Amino acid sequence: MSPPPAPGTTGPLRTPPSLELVHRLRQGTDLLTGAALRRLDEDLPWYRGLPAEDRSWIGLVAQAGIKSFISWYENNGQGAYNAAEIFRAAPPELTRSISLQHTLQLVRIIVEVVEAHTASLATGQMEQSLREAVLLYSREVAFSAAEVYARAAESRGAWDARLEALVVDSLLRGDADDSLRSRVSALGWAGRGNTVVVVGSVDGPMDDVRAAEFRRSARRSASDALVGIQGDRLVVVLGGEGNLRAQAQTLVPHFGAGPVVIGPQVRELADASRSARSALRGLRAVRAWPTAPRPVLADELLPERMLIGDEDAHRTLLSDVYAPLVAAGSSLLETLSAYLNEGRSVEATARGLFVHPNTVRYRLRRISTVTGWDPTDAREGFVLQIAIAVGRLAE
């Protein structure tokens, strides 16, 4: 029993090649290459649309493929059929210009061209032998080409993961420079719509499989997505149109146990550092609110964030909560202070202000409209109370 062929090779051909046929094949190399390129130009629109440089590289690949077949055939099927050797005639970037499907179309046309010329290259029994050899070689090259593309995709995936980690790290540090746009474009970031950052934790180390699965989930949930894995911390940058917060909520089951914080929505990716900063500080401060929802918005943690020294939270409480109250008139601020001091009792507030209870209720509704926070809700009333304290200290 003969040993199996080594990897990258095939077994001996059923009919050994003749030296005369090998000589004819070598003489017809230019003829076969020219015929193959004409077929490519006639049959494949994608080939005609390639730049002249890429078409010339494909010509070299076609010629290398034919020469490799002749060498393999001359050695009775014992030579290598590795597609990497064939593609070595062209730069690695060619695998980005043409897809695996295009490469297989290229292989098929070369096979058809060689088959079409078998009658002129071989006669009698050798013609059938040549046809069988062409079919066997083309099948093996097709499988080998798939392996070449798989390795190229794996290499690009590893490079993309490193680039993605670099971009997310730059956003977290606030180092968004002019190169950011080109980097995110290389990662497929379209840049349409707004941006939001989501942070949380992971249970145990994220291996390549879990990381790839999470990235697929993130890219299904939003038009644009970047994922950064920093130890036990998971950072996701989502971009696109529509309700990004709702899209972020679909990713919560993929995070580990513990809180998940969604940063404020910003208009540009370059501003994502502000959303990331708020989300990260919210993740640190959320332990002061044990009953916080999951996920929780960073802006719902303004009091806790301010207590840990978050200047963004301090400014937000002043500009988005206290300042609108002051601008709406002293009666709203006075009513809110009295309502909070009286233990959120409408009747007690009305007695203290010498107004009707319905007037207090009306003003509370106005406060909710002006600030976006409902003073009758225990949690939101707490936010308003902290905002009043911050505003009075600022004055």
Average pLDDT over residues 85-100: 63
Res 164 pLDDT > 60:
yes
User: In this predicted structure, which of 17-21, 48-52, 142-146, 302-306 has the lowest mean pLDDT?
Assistant: 142-146
Residue spans of the domains in the chain: they are 19-155, 179-299, 311-394
The pLDDT of residue 176? 63
User: In this predicted structure, which of 123-127, 155-159, 301-305, 345-349 has the lowest mean pLDDT?
Assistant: 155-159
269 close to 195: Cβ distance less than 8 angstroms:
yes
33 close to 63: Cβ distance less than 8 angstroms:
yes
The pLDDT of residue 4? 42
- Is this prediction's pTM over 0.75? no
The pLDDT of residue 1? 39
The pLDDT of residue 337? 94
CATH of 179-299, one of 3.20.20.70, 3.40.605.10, 3.30.360.10, 3.30.70.2730: 3.30.70.2730
> What is the CB neighbour count within 10 angstroms for residue 134?
19
CA distance readout (Å), 185 to 45, 190, 269, 291? 27, 7, 12, 40
Measure the CA–CA gap between 7 and 140, rounded to whole angstroms.
11
Assigned CATH class of 311-394: mainly alpha
Average pLDDT over residues 72-81: 64
- Higher-confidence position of 228 and 21: 228
User: In this predicted structure, which of 44-48, 301-305, 329-333 has the lowest mean pLDDT?
Assistant: 44-48
Q: What is the 3-state secondary structure (H, E, C) of the chain?
A: CCCCCCCCECCCCCCCCCHHHHHHHHHCHHHHHHHHHHHHHHHCHHHHCCCHHHHHHHHHHHHHHHHHHHHHHHCCCCCECCHHHHHCCCCCCHHHHCCHHHHHHHHHHHHHHHHHCHHHHCCCHHHHHHHHHHHHHHHHHHHHHHHHHHHHHHHHHHHHHHHHHHHHHHHHHCCCCCHHHHHHHHCCCCCCCEEEEEEEECCCCCCHHHHHHHHHHHHHHCCEEEEEEECCEEEEEEEECCCHHHHHHCCHHHCCCCCCEECCCECCHHHHHHHHHHHHHHHHHHHHCCCCCCCEEHHHHHHHHHHCCCHHHHHHHHHHHHHHHHHCCHHHHHHHHHHHHCCCCHHHHHHHHCCCHHHHHHHHHHHHHHHCCCCCCHHHHHHHHHHHHHHHHHC
Look at residues 105, 186, 109, 94 and name the one whose alpha carbon lies nearest to residue 148. Answer: 94
The angle that helices 330-341 and 378-394 make with each other, rounded to 10 degrees, is 120
Confidence of residue 22 (pLDDT cuts 50, 70, 90): confident
Res 47 pLDDT > 90:
no
Highest mean pLDDT among 77-81, 147-151, 357-361: 357-361
Res 175 pLDDT > 90:
no
pLDDT in tens, 252-285: 988 988 999 999 998 888 788 889 999 999 999 9
Average pLDDT over residues 206-232: 81
The pLDDT of residue 86? 64
CA trace torsion 129, 132, 136, 137 (10° rounding): 60
Q: Work out the percent of the chain whose per-residue pLDDT is above 90.
A: 32
